[in-house]
Structure 1
Amino acid sequence: MSTTAQEIEESTAAVSRPGRRLRSLGGWAVVGALVLVGVFVATLVGVQMPNGRGSLDPEGVGDSGGMALAEILRDQGVDITVARTTTEARAALRDGTTLALANPYTLTDDGIRDLIAPAERVVFLSSGTHLLSLLDIGENAAADSAAVGPSCDVREFADVGTIRPDRVFRPAAGVEGCFGSGDAAAVLIDEADGQTRAVVEGARLFSNAYLAENGNAALGLALLGQTDRLVWYVPSFEDTDIEAQSPDTLGSLTPGWVTPAILLLLLTGLAAALWRGQRFGPLVAETLPVTVRASETMHGRARLTAKSGDATHAAEAIRDGTRRRLARRLGLAVHATADEVADAASDRLRIPRGTLQSVLQGALPADDPALVEYSRRLRELEDAVDQAIHELRRPE
């Protein structure tokens, strides 16, 4: 009988081990499938996201995009060509064409000059300090958020109204400044070599979110709608003429065998983790080998409090303990408030309530002598309540 039972047990164990292994592999397969599904969904959402254009992009539908202004220009009969490379922009430029672009941060000075040279009108919808210096058109000035009108004799700005500029400039000599006060202007107009160049900080003024405010839309039409054709160039890091310099990296400064060795160590560590991880079974609840008595915990905390010298914290702990003990002795709930305990104790002791409130709710001591005195008062209060309860229960 014993041999038969042993054989049955061994066969059951042999069957159960592959079953556990299959369940483990099934769990890893489920995790891998979930990861792949998550990556697929994230990729699909990223590809189909309609709001992936940047600031002042004529095809951007987000708050910072410029599609609203582009559609208004098309409604006014302006033929808009969106160029995302300098090659496309130069090919689209011809006589009677306006070139609109944000600050071309990815182009060199020569690249900017070559790009804007064929255009009859050039409108920079945003600019940097270097671009202002390159164009020799002005410099930055102190910003003023007050609403301003055209304040210049430029014909196309006559019906714009007022705007609230986010940035103003100080025009250079011979440059017309509009929409400003004093020496500061939000729009700079420069006529040089048969070309009209305009600079405005339109990242907010011409965005989809704020185009309907004040005269923002009218200003955009006045700047970009003076010709029948508009080439809107969108700068990007993919379109640059700046020669890339490969900086020294950690990989280039280390010997060639370091990277393969690190990868081998990582793979070895991963394999060891998987190997050891499969040896662990389910969690098992076990009793502690040592039972710590409550008195030892109390003395340990007391020693820590005494070592830290925090008399206020110790006094608060003592007062809380006194409050709970008094509540239990007076027939109150364990979590009774200090006011409730003071009311019940004052009724039992026949003393004013304010006297007990000063003990149970007053200021806590800040040093050791005051802590000792405060502890003595709390102890006396507990003894008095115990004595009053004992006398009440004593038979006459």
Structure 2
Amino acid sequence: MAGWAAIAVALVVIVGLGALITPRPSTSQGTLDPRSTGADGARALVSILEKHGVTVQIVTDPVAAHDALEKTPATLWLPDSPALTVADLLALTKQAAGTVVGDPAARSARVLFGATLAGYGRGVVSPACTLPAAQRAGGISPGVLFRATGADTSSCYPQGDAVGLVTRTDGARQDTIVDGTRLFTNEHLGENGNAALAINLLGARDTLVWLAPEGGNAGAAPTLADLTPGWVTPLVVLGFATALAAAIWRGRRFGPLVAERLPVTVRASETAEGRAHLYARAADPAHAYELLRAAAARRIATALGLGRRASAGEVADAAAAVTGRSRADVRTLLVDARPGDDRALVDLATRLYALENAVHAAILPEGTARDR
């Protein structure tokens, strides 16, 4: 009887694993995904544009975007995605009849508009500019703010010495950068003049090409997973399942379960600091600070949405823009500093901690606590 029970359990395991490995469509959708109906998706905006007679073409790689833009004059929705190179950003912007960078980061602001990030907006502001799209939309509550000084740029929605929207004119083409993650998602589209601004910017032409990258650059070399036939993974899993069934069938029966206290979870930041202390004790302050700096740079990059590929210099520039600190001082902390003794190590570590706190204070709403 026990043997039949073991066989039944093995069959259940095999069937369950088979269901798990059965290919199914991906449902992963990110912020401002035009197909997503979640709070941070942009399906509502796409529906409104289509009701206004705009044809929305959704593409997932720069090659498809190039092909779509080649067929007809169109506005391009361009995210600052790690899947796109600087060359992609420049080429697609030049090819489009007009571009809206609605998911901006430090790279796109600098490369396409000669602008820098300048913190985060607070409260509703009026356009205070001559751009028709902004004038018709009225007030908004901008997200990421920018500083732009180029002669071919104009700005709207000022807050202090920064603005919430920057446009750049090149002949008949007009490109715009604005934080759509705060304005155009399903959650925020109905607030203030957000919907009107989105329609005015994205509905200026009959066709909108919406680039929503999925994974890496289409031009990248295929990975091992791409080259592996689809039947290999199910076969390997089935082999493990068969071995598990045999072990259950022929193996010894387990005794009663024994409760065991598990070790506590150690945060990544505490691990990095602990290793830094060990190097400090070994009279290697430079190596110790390198660990502290790398950990802090990763957390700052994550907080600013720069992605894993951002260099230390890009992280430093973005942190300086957000906090308003001297670019040279921030680059010293995140790139150049090499402490020669313990006193210098303590001083740099203290300043690094203060910089990280300043970044989070600049991007988080007032009264919001953060967990390191």
TM-score bin (small chain)? 0.5 to 0.7
Instruction: Please state how far the C-alpha of 1:123 moved relative to its aligned partner.
Output: 0.6
Corresponding residue for residue 119 of structure 1: 96
C-alpha deviation, 1:243, in angstroms: 6.1
Q: Name the CA shift for 1:34/1:161 in 2 (closer, same or farther; >3 Å).
A: farther
Residue pairs, 1:368-387, within 5 angstroms: none
Moved more, 64-73 or 177-186: 177-186
| 1:161 to partner: Cα distance | 2.0
In structure 2, give the amino acid aligned to 1:154.
L
Counterpart residue type for residue 78 of structure 1: V
Does residue 179 (structure 1) correspond to residue 157 (structure 2)? The answer is: yes
Matched residues in 1 for 2:157 and 2:221: separation? 39
Is residue 10–residue 244 contact of structure 2 (8 Å, CA) maintained in 1? Answer: no
Q: Which runs of 5+ in 2 are unaligned?
A: 225-239, 257-372
In structure 1, the residue matched to 2:81 is 104
Quote the offset at 1:244 in angstroms.
8.3
Shift of 1:40: 5.2
Aligned positions of 1:1-396 closer than 5 A: 23-39=1-17, 47=24, 52-94=28-70, 95-174=72-151, 175-241=153-219, 277-278=251-252
Confirm or deny: 8 A CA contact 1:64 1:204 kept in the other structure: no
Is the 1:106–1:242 Cα contact (8 Å) retained in structure 2?
A: no
- The secondary structure found in structure 1 opposite 2:136 is coil
- Asked which structure has the greater RCO (Cα within 8 Å, sep 6+), the reply is 2
Q: CA deviation at 1:180?
A: 2.1
Contact 1:52 1:60 in 2 (8 A): no
How far residue 141 of structure 1 moved from its aligned partner, in angstroms, is 0.8
Q: Which amino acid aligns with 1:75?
A: K
Change beyond 3 A, Cα 1:33–1:61: farther
Q: Is the radius of gyration larger for structure 1 or structure 2?
A: 1
SS at match of 1:60: coil
SS in structure 2 opposite 1:222?
helix
CA distance in 1, matches of 2:137, 2:254: 76
Task: Name the aligned partner's letter for residue 181 of structure 1.
Answer: Q
Percent identical residues: 30
**Offset of residue 78 of structure 1:** 0.5
- CA 1:52–1:145 in structure 2 vs 1: closer, same or farther (change >3 Å)? same
Whether contact under 8 Å (1:98, 1:230) holds in the other structure is: yes
Q: Distance in 1 between matches of 2:16 and 2:250?
A: 28
Cα pair distance change 1:245/1:139, threshold 3 Å? farther
Displacement of 1:222 in angstroms is 1.4
Structure 1 residue 281 displacement after superposition: 8.8
Alpha-carbon distance between aligned partners in 1 of 2:36 and 2:63, rounded to the nearest angstrom: 21
> Distance in 1 between the 2:132 and 2:251 partners?
78
- The count of residues paired between Structure 1 and Structure 2 equals 238
Q: Decide whether aligned partners of structure 1 residues 176 and 272 sit closer, same or farther in structure 2, where only a CA change above 3 A counts.
A: same
